[in-house]
Structure 1
């Protein structure tokens, strides 16, 4: 008794596999084309999820397509052998290819969505594009299945004898499971490649940016609007109703930095101020930067010491920040300066990039009358 692995069925299975691979390959080639041909790809069934082919590197997409075609041929061969044994019609064999192609598409859908299933259970399939390859496979089988079906047709003059190879169905089942596994591995490889590419891009961006790139998930606390302090009960005090704090421009010396802070009396009466301005710094994530603020003199300015000064109407007081230069590469840096006349008053802020990094020490001089208010540095 001869088995049913006759040349006609093998040719039909090979034809089905070849047509399937050609169709999937044409779609992928169109999608990767730099011309307007990418629009035509929507007319070709998505036999393999796009994420498993177009967005792969190192031949992963070609491998997924080849595996899918081979498995399709094996599954169709198993179904065709069973149908041939029973003298099936061309239409029945045609729909056997529809079923085989849909099964392979289902396996790819499960493989591509496996990470979603693991993370979110069955509902994760709703976000993974599940079902696209299954439907595309059935559609392709309807459109192309008649060709292998005609090749595998049973002739009236040809006797139907022999037994069905019992190993074909288990092999087909294992092959379908293999597609699921291959799809899951290919999708995991794609995600790893994307993660590595993003990490490399972050390194490039970080090297060309001032400080570390902003991280919306970074831990931290916002900069408080006020610091602990007692505002003197003095009607002449330079309160926000009479005066405002303005920033100057950064200045530099070898290994050292400085920046003036001015207090403008915009009222029509003199006001008084005493002591040191209240200073804080915000990082690129909008959080309070860990900086030690000290009172005194620095390389950039002498400290006159706290003293009560009178700021004339339209006049200025000035204080100077001083710090040592530091490398901002990959660090939390100053992205905003916050300041108030004295501790206890509401701080104002200015966006500015300074190489005051996390852990730095900044020295602040006391307020003194600004002899040269036109000097912003």
Structure 2
């Protein structure tokens, strides 16, 4: 039945009934939260942790794993706030793109592609605003450098999220019926949506940055400290622990032809970081005139700036950052090298480690080596087995 309503009027009325940009922004925020939660849960599961690299490709981490392990309620509130920030930035970008004059006459495929690209940029901008803002207001005990180092890998991960999952909001916006060029409803609605989304993103970014000191305070309290991290009263200083012993207290029996401490020179590589994880290599060089063997795991102890022992928990095996899990004899020719990995989680709040006491095996003489890291006493260090260096290793 002919109601006398023109095609343009019907298109504008349909646009008012179905506000596609807000719907796409909400859908993007929901997907962001669900993908991040599912990826973190699968990566932490003992049965699937070995497939963490594959999981990260399909379910990219939208937040560093440490975020989901924060004290309540921040382990829920902060990921939700970040997801809503992404949705607001996504809505802002989609509203600006959809408000362009050429949008009304573009093909559906071109509109979906443009909206998909907006999702990638919104994901990267979300990560950069959050990580850089966090670094500015709460640099932590190790200074700005280590917090800012997480900005790049986090932005890479969220950019990949936009690449893999940005099609969801892109299809919602790009697949919607086109409004006639010059539609006044489209223009006004786009401006209103962009203004609301931009204001929401600004408010959420400020809130996220402002709550970081509160999150750090709650973490200190949960760990048994005071809100400000200072002692509540003056107490008699507890005697500092002695320096690590020059030889491990629980030595192993060396096998035939094993490298002795006198045969080798030990060194530490620089620190690599990714998504809240840290790792560095222990490099052993055979300085003797004959081949020798390393087997098992290197012996490691830790000390603070003043030389006192720092009791860092140790475990043996491979980690998220790699390394050999199973010991196997490695023959090291004169001048050749063997490597092992030390890995730990970022964000430690205990006593900082500045010196690593290393030996080729427990029972050999330890060599103290200093290194600039963010390793702290409440982090667990995973020590991998000795292995031959791969191409490109230090």
Kindly name which structure, 1 or 2, has the bigger radius of gyration based on alpha carbons: 1
TM-score normalized by the length of structure 1 = 0.46
Whose strand proportion is higher, 1 or 2?
A: 1
